[in-house]
Chains A and B, each alone.
Chain A
Amino acid sequence: MILSDYLPGTGLLWRLPPGIKLLALAALGTLLLAVPLLDLAAITFVAVIALYLGSGLGWRVIWGILRPMLLILAIVAGAQWWLFDALSALMVALRLAALLLFASLVTLTTRASDMIAALERALFWLRPLRVNPAKVSLALSLALRFIPVLGSITAEVREAQRARGLERSVIATAVPVIVRLLKMADDIADAIEARGYDPGNETSRSTGETRP
Chain B
Amino acid sequence: MIELRDVTHRYGERVVLRDLSLRLEERRVAVIGGNGSGKSSFARLLNGLQLPSAGQVLIDGLDTRSDGKAVRRRVGFVFQNPDNQIVFPVVEEDLAFGLKNLRLPRDEIRARVDAALARYDLTELREHPAHLLSGGQKQLLAIAGVMAMEPAHIVFDEPTTLLDLRNKRRVARAIAELPQNVVMISHDLELLRDFDRVIVLDEGRIVADDRPGPAIDFYERRMA
Residues of chain A having any CB pair with chain B under 8 Å: 141-142, 144-145, 148-149, 152, 184, 187-188, 190-198, 203, 205-209, 211-212
Q: How far is the CA of A211 from the CA of B69 in the complex (A)?
A: 21
Bound form: Cα–Cα A192–B100 in Å: 12
CA distance in complex: A196, B87 (Å): 13
| Contact residues of B: prevailing secondary structure | mixed
B136 within 8 A of A: no
Contacts of B9 in A (CB 8 A): 208
Instruction: Known A-B contacts: A187-B85, A208-B41. Give 16 more (CB < 8 A).
Output: A141-B88, A145-B89, A149-B131, A190-B44, A191-B77, A191-B85, A193-B49, A195-B77, A195-B97, A203-B68, A205-B49, A206-B50, A206-B51, A207-B50, A211-B11, A212-B11
Q: Please tell me if the beta carbons of A208 and B72 are within 8 angstroms of each other in the complex.
A: no
B88 & A145 in contact (Cβ 8 Å cutoff): yes
CA distance A192 to B120 in the complex (A): 21
Q: Does B210 contact A (CB under 8 A)?
A: no
- Do the beta carbons of B51 and A207 come within 8 Å of each other? yes
CA distance A190 to B149 in the complex (A): 17
Spell out B's residues near A (CB within 8 Å): 9-12, 16, 41, 44, 47-53, 68-69, 72-73, 76-77, 79, 81, 83-89, 93, 97-98, 101-102, 129-131, 145-146, 149
Residue with the greatest number of chain B CB neighbours at <10 A, chosen from A148, A149, A191, A209? A191
Candidates B12, B50, B102, B130; contact of A196 at CB < 8 Å: B102
Q: Which of B76, B93, B129 contacts A194 (CB 8 A)?
A: B76
A206 to B49, CA, bound (A): 8
How many cross-chain pairs have Cβ atoms below 8 Å apart between A and B?
87
Our pick among B12, B72, B84, B97 for the contact of A184 (Cβ within 8 Å) is B84
Choice from A145, A148, A184, A198 contacting B101 with Cβ under 8 Å: A198
Q: Is the CB of B49 within 8 A of A208?
A: no
Q: Which residues of B contact A141 (CB under 8 A)?
A: 87-89, 93
Kindly provide the distance from the CB of A4 to the nearest chain B CB, expressed in whole angstroms: 12
| Cβ contact within 8 Å between A193 and B72 | yes
Shortest CB-to-CB span from B37 to chain A, Å, is: 14
Q: How far is the CB of B144 from chain A (nearest CB, A)?
A: 12
Chain B residues in 8 Å Cβ range of A192: 87
Residues in B with CB closer than 8 Å to A196 are 72-73, 98, 101-102, 149
A187 engages B79 (CB within 8 Å): yes
Q: Is the Cβ of B73 less than 8 Å from the Cβ of A195?
A: no
- Kindly state the separation between the CA atoms of A121 and B69 in the bound complex, as whole angstroms: 28
B73/A142 in contact, CB under 8 A: no
In contact, A145 and B41 (Cβ under 8 angstroms): no
- Across chains A and B, which 10 residue pairs bring their CB atoms closest together, nearest first? A196-B101, A187-B84, A194-B77, A195-B98, A144-B89, A191-B85, A148-B131, A145-B89, A207-B51, A208-B11
What residues of chain A lie closer than 8 Å to B48, measured between beta carbons? 205
